[in-house]
Amino acid sequence: MKWYIVLLLSLVASLVLVPVTLAAASNPIDSYVLTSSPGSNFGTSANLAVFGSGGVGVCTATGTAYLKWSLAGTAAAVGATTKLTVNVNFISSGADGNVSLYQVTDDSWTETGITANNAPAPGALLASVPLPGSTGLVTFTGADLAAYVNSQSSFVGGTDTTAGDDVISFAIRISGCTAPSSAISLDSREKTGGTAPALSLFDTNAVTLTGFGAADPTVNWPLIAGLGALALLIAAGGVIYRRRAAAHA
C-alpha cells in the first residue's frame, strides 16, 4: 500500500477515534445561597460563591452553589466517564479543605427564587476533590455521579422520583476545611467570557443529538480541524502522484 494511503488512513482513524463529548443541551440554571444573607437571591450573579468556615473538627458550609440541568434526550444509561466541570476564578488566601459535589433531589428551586431560607438541602456526597492551589477547571467524575444522572433521567430503567422530570440538580460546597474562612468563586453561566459549569456525557449511545450538543472545554477542536485539513492535502497529493506516475509509464 502506498505511503500516502497509509498516512491518510492513520489520520482518518485518529479523527474517528477522537472521543465525542456530548454535553447537556444548554447552560445550567445556577445560583448560590449565603447563610449570612438568608433572604437574598444571587441568581443573576456572574459568579457562584462557595464558602466554608472551619472550627474544631467542624467545617460549616456558609455559601453553597446550586446547579440544575435538563436531561431531556437521554436515551440510555450513561457510564462512569460522565463528568461535571466548574471553573474556579478566585481562591481566598489560606483556604483549605475540599470542593465537594452533592445530590439535590428536589428540583423545585428556581434561579431567581432560591435563597438560604428556601434552598433544598443537599443529599448524598457524589464526589470530592482537594481545593485547588490555583484557579482553573475543577472536574467531578466517577461511578456515583453516573449513577445519580441515571437515577434522575426518565429513560427506560431510570428511577427519577418525578416521572418524566428529566431534570437533575447539584450542590457544591467546601468540606473538610480547618481555616476560619475558606472561599472560592466559580464562573456562572452569566459570566461574560467565563467558562460556564458543564455536565458532559461521554457515552454516545446515551443521548440523542437533538437533545445534546458536542461542547466540552477539553475537546481540542482546532487540532481536529487541522488534522482534517492535513488529511485532505495528503489525499490531493496522492492524486497528483498517481497522475504523474501514469504520465511517465
CATH code, 147: 2.60.120
Contact 70, 25 (CB under 8 A): yes
The whole-angstrom separation of Cα 205 and Cα 200 is 13
Whether the CB-CB separation of 130 and 98 falls below 8 Å is answered with yes
Q: Indicate whether 239 and 179 sit together in one domain.
A: no
Tell me: pLDDT of 11 over 80.
no
Clarify whether residues 240 and 136 are in a common domain.
no
Output the nine-digit C-alpha cell for 241: 502522484
Give, for 168, the enclosing helix (H) or strand (E). Answer: strand 167-175
Look at residue 6 and tell me whether its pLDDT is greater than 90: no
Domain annotation covers residue 195: yes
Per-range mean pLDDT, top range of 65-79, 85-99, 218-232: 85-99
| pLDDT reading at 12 higher than 60 | no
pLDDT-above-70 percentage for the chain: 71
Q: Which helix (H) or strand (E) segment is 242 a member of?
A: helix 221-247
**Shared domain check, 120 and 232:** no
Q: Given a cut of 60, is residue 219 above it in pLDDT?
A: no
152 & 236 share domain: no
Q: How far apart are CA 45 and CA 49, in angstroms?
A: 9
Same domain, residue pair 132 and 242: no
Residue 216, domain member (yes or no): no
Q: Are strands 59-70 and 182-187 parallel, antiparallel or unpaired?
A: unpaired
Residue 40 has pLDDT above 60, yes or no: yes
Specify if 80 maps to a domain: yes
Q: How far apart are CA 169 and CA 171, in angstroms?
A: 7
CB atoms within 10 A of CB 206: 23
Q: What are phi and psi of 221, to 5 degrees?
A: -65, -40
Q: Is residue 71 part of a domain?
A: yes
Q: Which residues share a beta bridge with 60?
A: 53
Q: Residue 8 sits in which domain range?
A: 3-16+222-247
Poorest-pLDDT segment among 145-159, 186-200, 223-237? 223-237
Q: Rounded to the nearest 10 degrees, how much is the dihedral formed by the CA atoms of 226, 229, 230, 235?
A: 160
Domain co-membership, 169 together with 192: yes
Cα 58 from Cα 97, distance rounded (Å):
11
What integer pLDDT is reported at residue 69 of this predicted model?
A: 93
Confidence of residue 51 (pLDDT cuts 50, 70, 90): very high
Q: Is residue 37 part of a domain?
A: yes
Determine, yes or no, domain membership for 145: yes
pLDDT in tens, 93-151: 999 999 999 999 999 999 999 999 999 999 999 999 999 999 999 999 999 999 999 88
Query: Residues 195-220: what's their mean pLDDT?
Result: 72
> Containing H/E element for 182?
strand 182-187
Residues 171 and 144 in one domain: yes
> If you average pLDDT over every residue of the chain, what do you get?
83
Q: Do 63 and 152 share a domain, yes or no?
A: yes
- Confirm if 66 and 169 have CB atoms less than 8 A apart: yes
Give the start-end residues of each E strand in 6-124: 22-23, 29-34, 47-54, 59-70, 83-91, 98-104
Is residue 69, in this structure, part of any structural domain at all?
yes
126 and 61 within one domain: yes
Q: Residue 110 is placed in which grid cell?
A: 428556581
∠ CA 153-33-187 to the nearest 5 degrees? 75
How far is residue 226 from each of residues 7, 57, 136, measured CA to CA in Å? 15, 53, 26
Report the domain count for the chain.
Answer: 2
Question: How many C-beta atoms surround the C-beta of residue 72 within 10 A?
Answer: 18
Decide if 48 is inside a domain.
yes
φ and ψ of 150, to 5 deg: -65, -40
- Check pLDDT > 90 for residue 213: no
Residues 176 and 106 in one domain: yes
Mean local confidence (pLDDT), 48-70:
93
- Co-location of 154 and 119 in the same domain: yes
Q: Both 48 and 95 in a single domain? A: yes
